Structure 1
Amino acid sequence: MYEKDGVFYADEKHDPVKFPKVTGLKPLDNYKLWVRFSTGETKECDFAALLREPAFRPLQNKSIFDSVYIDYGVPVWNNGEIDIAPEWLYENGKAVSGGN
């Protein structure tokens, strides 16, 4: 638990470099996302394996996958019903240069 500006938070304080937010994204072919993080880094994240998981199965519909948007630094789909942690994208994405 930590306190910031008089507000108490139950989780641990996160280092913004260790836990960056998503600041830009673009759906790509083959169920991949191009992602820009608050650190300025850009990565390509492959969702192929995740689409087998029950929570992500709706994303097998390419139009739903392509409807991704950012909500408070987190990629979301279906009006927020599906999301993915920026930490997972950061740790599992492959570094790419520039703005695809």
Structure 2
Amino acid sequence: MRPRAVDVKPLEDYKLLVTFNNNETRVFDVKPYLDFKPFEQLRNKEIFKTVRVGGLSVEWVTGQDVCPDELYYNSNVEN
């Protein structure tokens, strides 16, 4: 079974603390995505803070989301 997000919390510097259904907690850096048109709105920190679990991954109230595999495989295990 592929890991899926079950909880998410916004962190400083455009990072997310994501807990997955395999009980791993990982940090995902959104900053590299902010230069892409669909993610530009997330530069607004108030919008960035609206992140929530949606479906199999995370999403924002403005419609952006991150592919579940991208979220897991491009994140780092929390120390």
Please say whether Structure 1 and Structure 2 have the same fold, judged by a TM-score greater than 0.5.
yes
**C-alpha root-mean-square deviation of aligned residues, in Å?**
1.2
Greater RCO structure (CA 8 Å; 6+ sep): 2
Q: Which has the larger radius of gyration?
A: 1
Please tell me the residue identity of whatever aligns with 1:28: L
* Equivalent of 2:41 in 55, 58, 62: 58
Q: How does 1:34-45 map to 2 (within 5 A)?
A: 34-45=17-28
Note if 1:20 corresponds to 2:3: yes
- Count the aligned residue pairs: 79
1:76 counterpart residue number: 59
Q: Secondary structure at the match of 1:40?
A: coil
Note if 1:46 corresponds to 2:29: yes
> Within 2, Cα distance between the matches of 1:93 and 1:51?
16
> Within 2, Cα distance between the matches of 1:63 and 1:21?
25
Shift of 1:86: 1.7
1:92 counterpart residue number: 74
Task: Identify unmatched segments of 5+ residues in structure 2.
Answer: none
Runs of 4+ in 1 over 4 A off after TM superposition: none
The answer on whether the counterparts of 2:57 and 2:71 sit within 8 Å (CA) in structure 1 is no
TM-score, structure 2 as length reference: 0.91
Work out the percentage of aligned pairs sharing the same amino acid: 33
